[in-house]
Amino acid sequence: MGALTSIATVLGAGATIYGQVHQAQAQDAANKAQAQINATREVAQQQVLLAQAQEAALQRQTTLAHAVASARARLAAAGVSSDGGSAAAVTGGLANEAAAAQGADDATLRARLADGRSSLLNPDGTVTALLSSGRGIAAIGRGFGGIARNLLD
C-alpha cells in the first residue's frame, strides 16, 4: 500500500511538472507572437512617419521655390537684379529659413523614430518576458525572478 502511495505521488508530481512546462511553453509562444506583432506595428509606424516627413520636405521645397520665384519677380519688376546685393540676401534668407525648418523637422523625426522603443526591457520577449515565463516552473521563478521582475517593472 505504501508503494502505491509513493507511485501516485510521483505520478502527481510528474503531471504537475508537465503542466507547468506546457504552460511555460505556451506563455513563451504568446510572448514571441506579441513581440512579432509589436515589431510589425513599429515598422508600420516608422514607415508612416518617414512618408509624412518626405511629404513635408517636398512641400517645404515647393513653397521655397515659389517664394524665391515670387521674390525674384518682385525685385525684377522693381528694376533690381535678382542675382546680387539685397536680392541675393532676400533669397538666401528664404533658403536659410527653409533649411533651418527642415533641420528642426529632421530632429523631430529622429526623436519620434527613437521613441518607438522607449525601453530595452519592454515585455517583447526579452528580460521581463523571460522572467515572467519562468514564474511557475520553480521556486526561482517565484523568488529571484519575481523580485527581479518587480524591480524591472
Query: Is pLDDT above 50 for 118?
Result: no
The Cα 18–Cα 12 span in angstroms is: 10
Q: How far is CA 98 from CA 71, 121, 126, in A?
A: 15, 39, 43
H-only helix segments in the chain: 2-77, 85-114, 127-133, 139-142, 144-152
Task: Please give the model's pTM, rounded to 2 decimal places.
Answer: 0.52
Give residue 88's pLDDT: 83
Give residue 135's pLDDT: 46
Mean pLDDT along residues 123-127: 49
Give residue 44's pLDDT: 85
pLDDT-based confidence at residue 59 (cuts at 50, 70, 90): very high
Check: CB of residue 67 under 8 Å from CB of residue 93: no
Mean pLDDT along residues 33-49: 86
